[in-house]
Amino acid sequence: MSKKKTKEVVNNDDVTVDNFTMDSSYEVINPDSLLDMLSCTLDGEYYVPPISPNRLTKIKGMAAYHESALDFKKNAMLSIFQSTQLLKYSDFEGFIYDYHMFGNAYLEPIYSRMNTVIGYRHVMSKYTRIKKDGSYWFLRNFNNHIELKNVLHFKAYDPNQNIYGMPTYMSALLSVLLNREATLFRYKYYKNGSHAGFILAINGEVKKTNMEKIADNLKKTKNDGNFRNLLVHLPKGDKDSVQLIPISQIATKDEFVNIKDVSRDDILAVHRVPLALMSIQASNAGGFGDLSKIAKVYHMIEMLPVINKLKDANKETGQKIFDFSDFKLQ
């Protein structure tokens, strides 16, 4: 956002007044929003996912709450998954993580010499594409690909198209980026060490050479010079001769905490993961309440729908690919 600046000079040699106005506001959500136009386009022989899997992979590490929520949802499913003759624990781990992260998860059947299915292996969603004829490609470097046959595709519902699934956290992407920007700002703020956070006003009699030394010492408080003390001796001064007037340091600290908290709540709300289960300390004295009850509700509302969807694959294929134990808390 740019500033349109105009200067108005008041009829006084010692006073100038600057007036500036901001550009018109930008609408993050509008009828022409990008998220409302997501669809799959053809790139030669295969359909391109509506959201770049490569970008989703990069966004994963931009906010601790986003990455931690994805890991929690994966571990929650792993805690009750039981390996079968057709699907190993490690393959299910990659499969269920892809489902939560990309909204798409793939399993490729493994055939015996007798052309019977003896197992399934996880295929990375980031590199899997769907062709025009409904078959699947696994992309490699330099546009090379591998043909995949009889792939089992599990996808999260998307009302805009039915080729690929869509992750359920799209509405929180701005909060993920905002959380990251707040962290980067704070990191640079501390690492830089020289902040426009105050005005040092000296009213006593100070020689020009001494003022230059004071200014030079203030400049050296950057980086490795953080937190150095400064001695100013004014023989004819009093307690008001040197004043430190803060500008923005306190406000910056408060805004940082607020931004982190608000963006965190947005991220966890869209992931539908309770704060109590995310290793986050409660801000109130009463805590979060009974964790076992919270875990049971999470299992019933969030995990069971995914489990039932996976069990449908057992019925459709006539094979016991997925198996889960009952949810129990020790």
Please choose, from the candidates 137, 159, 139, the residue with its C-alpha nearest in 3D space to the C-alpha of residue 39.
159
pLDDT of residue 304: 95
Q: What is the pLDDT of residue 24?
A: 47
Q: Sign (positive/negative) of CA torsion 97, 100, 103, 107?
A: positive
> What pLDDT is stored for residue 245 in this prediction?
67
Write down the pLDDT at residue 291. 84
Closest CA to 115 of 154, 153, 152, 150: 150
pLDDT of residue 43: 80
- How does DSSP classify residue 300? I
- Residue 322, pLDDT score: 97
Residues 140, 78 contacting (CB under 8 angstroms):
no
Residues of the chain with pLDDT under 50: 1-3, 5, 7-11, 15-17, 19-22, 24-32, 36
DSSP 82: -
For 84, 91, 125, 304, 312, the CA distances from 320, given in Å and listed in that order, are: 7, 15, 22, 17, 10
Rounded CA-CA distance 166/75 in Å is 21
